[in-house]
A and B are shown apart, each in its own frame.
Chain A
Amino acid sequence: GNSVTQMEGPVTLSEEAFLTINCTYTATGYPSLFWYVQYPGEGLQLLLKATKADDKGSNKGFEATYRKETTSFHLEKGSVQVSDSAVYFCAPSNDYKLSFGAGTTVTVRA
């Protein structure tokens, strides 16, 4: 089965700082890769995705590149806002399921 190692949190940043959350995975076959975000009290929202090697997913200023050779999918944002405070989950997908990392809690201070 799949497994995901995600950067431990919590991460606390000041507004406009650079954010990176590391994610590496092991998976059978050739998974699609996703980042999901969970805001306080809410369900999961898809943040971005990549479906093949060297694909770059991007959304709301966040980016992640599918690195097959290093089995990694690190999330980055150049300038975070208070509204980016949330829990972020890395998730490879195959066999009709998502395998989630432990989640990284990010808090952005004004």
Chain B
Amino acid sequence: KAGVTQTPRYLIKTRGQQVTLSCSPISGHRSVSWYQQTPGQGLQFLFEYFSETQRNKGNFPGRFSGRQFSNSRSEMNVSTLELGDSALYLCASSGGVGRVTEAFFGQGTRLTVV
């Protein structure tokens, strides 16, 4: 069974640009979550989608947005990039149904903003 796939693995963007990251969950998983990992702030929750609906979101500015498609694949978009957006962005998938669902993480997308 294939794991969570994130593309691209590495990105370099310039301040002010926008970027779209992609996540393909494990087959059969309907929940996708996104996290930002930085040395200063650690791992922070961005948002979670289940069956194309956002069920929860973290405390990030509106420049950060996401969506989920009918095949459960998800994208996150960051507009007007800032230097502080440089981070490892991790996607996780889970079954999403029931009280306890284990999250399986992808390798991440390393975004560098210059």
Q: Which residues of A are in contact with B by a Cβ distance under 8 Å?
A: 32, 34, 36, 42-46, 49, 51, 89, 93, 95-103
Contact mask B41-62 → A, CB, 8 Å, 1/0?
0111100101000011010000
Segment from B14-22, B75-83, B100-108 that makes contact with A: B100-108
Q: Does B31 contact A (CB under 8 A)?
A: yes
Q: Which residue of B lies closest to A6 (CB)?
A: B42
Contact mask B64-94 → A, CB, 8 Å, 1/0?
0000000000000000000000000010100
Bound Cα distance from A102 to B43, whole angstroms: 7
Bound Cα distance from A100 to B56, whole angstroms: 16
Q: Which residue of A lies closest to B88 (CB)?
A: A43
Report B16 CB to chain A, min CB distance, Å. Answer: 29
